[in-house]
Structure 1
Amino acid sequence: MKLYKIITCFICVMIVGQVQVRAQGDQILDGIGETGLIARYVFDKDAKDWSRNNLHAEIKGDAKFVKDELFKNVLALSGQAYIILPSSALNNVESISMAGWIKLNAPTSDQFFFDFGKNQNSHAYVAPFGTGKNENFTTAVSENRNKDYTLSSSKVGLPKDRWSHLVLVIDVPSKTIKAFMNGVQVSQKGEIELELSDIFNVESGEENQLYIGKAISQNKASLDASIHDFRIYRIGLTNNQVKGIFENALKKRDGVVNERKEPQDNLPEFSRTSPQLYNEFLASVDDIEVETQVGVLPRLPRTLKATYKNGLKGPQVKVTWPAPDDNSEVLKTGTYIINGSVAGTDLKPKATVHVVESTIAEKPARALEAFDLDQVSLESNTNGQNTKFIENRDKFINTLAQTNPDSFLYMFRNAFGQEQPVGAKPLGVWDTQETKLRGHATGHYLTAIAQAYASTGYDKALQQNFADKMEYMVNTLYQLSQMSGKPAEEGGDFNANPTAVPMGPGKEIYSSDLSEEGIRTDYWNWGEGFISAYPPDQFIMLENGAVYGTEETKIWAPYYTLHKILAGLMDIYEVSGNEKALAVAEGMGDWVYARLSELPTDTLISMWNRYIAGEFGGMNEAMARLYRITGKDTYLETARLFDNIKVFFGDANHSHGLAKNVDTFRGLHANQHIPQIVGALEMYRDSDKPEYFNVADNFWVKATNDYMYSIGGVAGARNPANA
């Protein structure tokens, strides 16, 4: 048994929703982050939820999908047809917005576009042509008739045989309910005294009745209309967001994809020329001189010493310097001037930069090393009582000890077409049948049980529990990986070559279809060493230009998932010495090297800069670590194939990039790129190439000085574009 290695902290396996937003194939739909989206039903051919949460609806009665001039395919409801949503859809919501398109066939009252609630007395609904004798567009929220907020627009009627976009917003923090038609607010009630728990069961959802096209009350008319693109958000949509959804559907404005074009938050705005705080008393700011080497942009201080009026003593002053897109200013020796600016003043501090010939710098050495978890023990306090540290450790460890490994292996067996053990159930959410990121939680689980094993020496029975879990997980993954690329039966067909994986049986394209009917399970064709909770297609599709999305022609970050699995396998190997865990990691490492080593540099640059689809977590770190463990050079070379060349080195010629202090990560997806920087540090450790250290060092300085704000965030604020 090897000593308990690595691993400096516990990872709690929190498995959260599934992607995605169908139309744009991004985490941003109509300018709204997908974390705010509970469910989206396009209703073009089925009642699937196209959000990350897989809250698929069920169509009841004789509904039909029909052709439509505006939206191509829509769902027509008539007679007793309606849709029922999963009762758990509104779990843990604090505010809610419901939006959708409707085309009424009959302008009669008591037709309900939707009706959500615990019962007919505690619910929220939209009646496009009113209720009873009121034939105006009506929305209402009520709680056992004690709290009744009805919004009826006397000036706006819903037209027959024309599409209308209706939205109901219940914004609890602002105590408002708003109704919208076609992007315009038509009614509002303020100062409401209501919690969503008054009308929904937001804990378990067991009582909730969520209907589209039908009222909760049985004595109301059924909806006679066509419907399209119904969405539920866990936030109170702003007027501008509602307008954006409406206009984007009609192609009146372009959808926002990766980068925010304008601020979403109503934050205080300050004039660039109006001084704030101490800046009002500034008299001057010191100029500076710095030196840099040819090709490397200078590292300028973010604050400078200042002189204040009337002898006032104040802090150093924040200075904003230009951020060039390349290093063209420092390609030869000489001296040049950079002018900075100080917010709220016309002061222009000057930096004189001396560019000198390059010299060989001393290579930095590692100052910190990870410690083994068995070196840490938690002791009771001086009164012999358990501390909060012990309580929280026990809460996590004891819960983890009760988990069923078969749930974390479910989708792996499913991918390889193997029978499930009796009682095995899938995890759900990010590990459902059609989730393109499935298997991701399993990687975290492998790490969690490795860490738990390494840190439970104080309880041998508990430690054995995790030892058994590790062995069971590894044995199963090893068995599956050994099947890949080998005949299913003696003399059967097979393909052992990772670079020659054919399309799935009966398929004309590589496909990310993971449905029970569409998933391929011909593991004998996948090449030796392959292991994943889905077939190889997503990896191959990425090479061929696929982008992020839910359609079967799109993918969701296959290497991101793989990184978690490889990391977990190596964690188990390093704490327990399980050779099979290492063998599985090596087999997949060989599979990856075989494919990536044949790709041209331009293809790799395109792959790793593809939003979400090319997100690879810390694959560079994982492969460098595998090299450090095994000493096999191909794994270090594989790690280099994950270089994000555009960000690290500017271009294929390594002209600039972060390695030369050029800010190449402005506007990029934070979660996608930060792990790559951690990987660069591991590359430096294992390759001894200083450019990798420079990438990480320059990123750290820029991120902490130029991007990070008070809470430690580096993306957006309330509605982040790139969180």
Structure 2
Amino acid sequence: MLLLELCLLACLLSAPALGKECTNAVTQSHTLRYQLWATKNETWKAEMRQAIPLDGYHLNPNESSTWVDSSRDGFQWAALYRGTKSTQGDPAVGGNFLREVSLHDVRLDPDSRHGRAQQTNLEYLLMLDVDRLAWSFRRQAGLPAPGQPYGGWESPDMELRGHFVGHYMSASAKMWASTHNDTLHQKMTAVVDALSVCQKKMGNGYLSAFPTEFFDRFESLKYVWAPYYTIHKIMAGLLDQYTHAGNSQALQMVTWMAGYFGNRVRNVIAKYTIERHWSSLNEETGGMNDVLYNLYSITGDPKHLLLAHLFDKPCFLGYLAVQSDNLSGFHANTHIPIVVGAQRRFEVTGDELYKKIGMYFMDIVNSSHSYATGGTSVNEHWYHVTYSDGPRK
């Protein structure tokens, strides 16, 4: 196992040809995808299916055919990858950053606009039912699932089911830190407890509201809807329950999850190649690198650091490393979290290159890829630097 990890690290730091594939139209809008899933208007659905070819609609490239011939791109991919290799950084640099004021030390005036908004949010979080939130997780674990599941994103036939629960854990942890509401604390702790029972029932660290078969498809570069996007939300929610609410059980759970997915990624690389793993990142993976850097900052476990590196998408970060504005056509929702994770890499490791990547990204987004309203994308995608209003109808 140690030898395999050393081989993986060597590939990350030295192999010049890795991550050579990237696509400028990876991930269709989740909004549009949901509308197609939910609509009963078969005529409109058929029209949209014709307008968006199925071989390029939120699909991963398959083994016999890829969307993009990288040889047609103007950049030499090996050079881009070398630009993202880890440089010598000083982990102690993190001690020089300003620290956020703890939410436990901030209270809002209840009569202010922000105080009223906070109260509205608190009331919403208190409305949510533990059994309904845990329903699909329990079914997945083969446990009794009392009550009824929520619909929408948490519907039992929704491939992204479970990610709202991750958001709930993050929101409730931060809300509790801001209010110390006892009822909310009991409810969010009950959700973590329920998910812990599910994880222990499965017994290998896996925790999700959908089956592991989704990752079998992901690793085979077959059609599946962004399973790591959901896993990121669950892991981030558990980590927030630890960092903001002191729930040590949540930290144990997210650490166990990291071990499970670390094994999956290592197995893909051992069975195929690391390049095959990079190809799978053409699907939306949320902020997996970010949450793993955050986990590493707590545990200090080098396995967590290595796994975080393996979710730094080289073919996208490579453009930013050589300061090339090539955002046009990329799916913003996929790639913004990757840059957030890259910035976190700098904060955790002191690697100056990733500071430069983050600063360059913010510079081009704020200067040439933003609208007067403050937004940066249309239908979740960036458009050409010189005519951002092109998509207007």
TM-score w.r.t. length of structure 2: 0.75
Q: Would the aligned equivalents of 2:136 and 2:149 in 1 still touch at CA under 8 Å?
A: yes
Instruction: Note the 1:186-585 alignment, pairs <5 A.
Output: 229-231=42-44, 245=47, 248=50, 325-326=74-75, 367-379=97-109, 386-421=111-146, 424-457=147-180, 463-485=181-203, 528-546=204-222, 554-585=223-254
Provide the residue aligned with 1:89 in structure 2: none
- Larger Rg computed on CA atoms: 1
Task: Measure how far apart 1:644 and its partner are.
Answer: 0.2
Q: Distance in 2 between matches of 1:580 and 1:433?
A: 26
- Cα RMSD of the aligned pairs, angstroms, is 3.4
Q: What amino acid is the match of 1:669? A: H
Q: Would the aligned equivalents of 1:707 and 1:714 in 2 still touch at CA under 8 Å?
A: yes
Provide the residue aligned with 2:328 in structure 1: 666
Task: Measure how far apart 1:246 and its partner are.
Answer: 9.4
Q: Would the aligned equivalents of 2:327 and 2:382 in 1 still touch at CA under 8 Å?
A: no
Provide the residue aligned with 2:5 in structure 1: none
Question: Which whole-Å deviations, capped at 9, do the CAs of 1:50-101 have from their partners, x for residues lacking one?
Answer: x232x5xxxxxxxxxxxxxxxxxxxxxxxxxxxxx6xxxxxxxxxxxx6xxx
Q: Distance in 1 between matches of 2:293 and 2:90?
A: 23
Aligned length: 332
Distance 1:721 1:669, change over 3 A: closer
**Are 2:339 and 1:677 equivalent residues in the alignment?**
yes
Q: Distance in 2 between matches of 1:428 and 1:709?
A: 34
Q: Distance in 1 between matches of 2:253 and 2:295?
A: 11
State percent identity of aligned pairs.
29
Provide the residue aligned with 1:648 in structure 2: 317
Q: Distance in 1 between matches of 2:189 and 2:128?
A: 14
Question: Which whole-Å deviations, capped at 9, do the CAs of 1:187-234 have from their partners, x for residues lacking one?
Answer: xxxxxxxxxxxxxxxxxxxxxxxxxxxxxxxxxxxxxxxxxx4227xx
Distance 1:360 1:580, change over 3 A: closer
Task: Measure how far apart 1:361 and its partner are.
Answer: 11
Distance 1:379 1:254, change over 3 A: closer
Question: Which whole-Å deviations, capped at 9, do the CAs of 1:125-180 have from their partners, x for residues lacking one?
Answer: xxxxxxxxxxxxxxxxxxxxxxxxxxxxxxxxxxxxxxxxxxxxxxxxxxxxxxxx
Provide the residue aligned with 2:281 in structure 1: 608
Q: Distance in 1 between matches of 2:314 and 2:215?
A: 19
Q: Would the aligned equivalents of 1:684 and 1:692 in 2 still touch at CA under 8 Å?
A: yes
Q: Would the aligned equivalents of 2:27 and 2:334 in 1 still touch at CA under 8 Å?
A: no
**Are 2:291 and 1:626 equivalent residues in the alignment?**
no
Distance 1:715 1:418, change over 3 A: same
Q: What amino acid is the match of 1:604? A: H
Task: Measure how far apart 1:622 and its partner are.
Answer: 0.5
Provide the residue aligned with 1:134 in structure 2: none
Where structure 1 has 5 or more consecutive residues not aligned to the other structure, the ranges are 1-24, 40-50, 56-84, 86-97, 99-228, 233-243, 260-323, 332-358, 381-385, 458-462, 486-527, 547-553, 650-656
Higher relative contact order (CA 8 A, sep 6+): 2
Provide the residue aligned with 2:13 in structure 1: none
Question: Which whole-Å deviations, capped at 9, do the CAs of 1:504-525 have from their partners, x for residues lacking one?
Answer: xxxxxxxxxxxxxxxxxxxxxx
Distance 1:545 1:482, change over 3 A: same
Q: What amino acid is the match of 1:481? A: Q
Provide the residue aligned with 1:95 in structure 2: none
Structure with a larger share of its residues in strand: 1
Q: What amino acid is the match of 1:575? A: H
Q: Distance in 2 between matches of 1:444 and 1:470?
A: 12
Task: Measure how far apart 1:440 and its partner are.
Answer: 0.5
Q: Would the aligned equivalents of 1:327 and 1:662 in 2 still touch at CA under 8 Å?
A: no
Task: Measure how far apart 1:720 and its partner are.
Answer: 6.2
Distance 1:675 1:254, change over 3 A: closer
Task: Measure how far apart 1:407 and its partner are.
Answer: 1.3
Where structure 2 has 5 or more consecutive residues not aligned to the other structure, the ranges are 1-24, 59-72, 81-86, 384-393
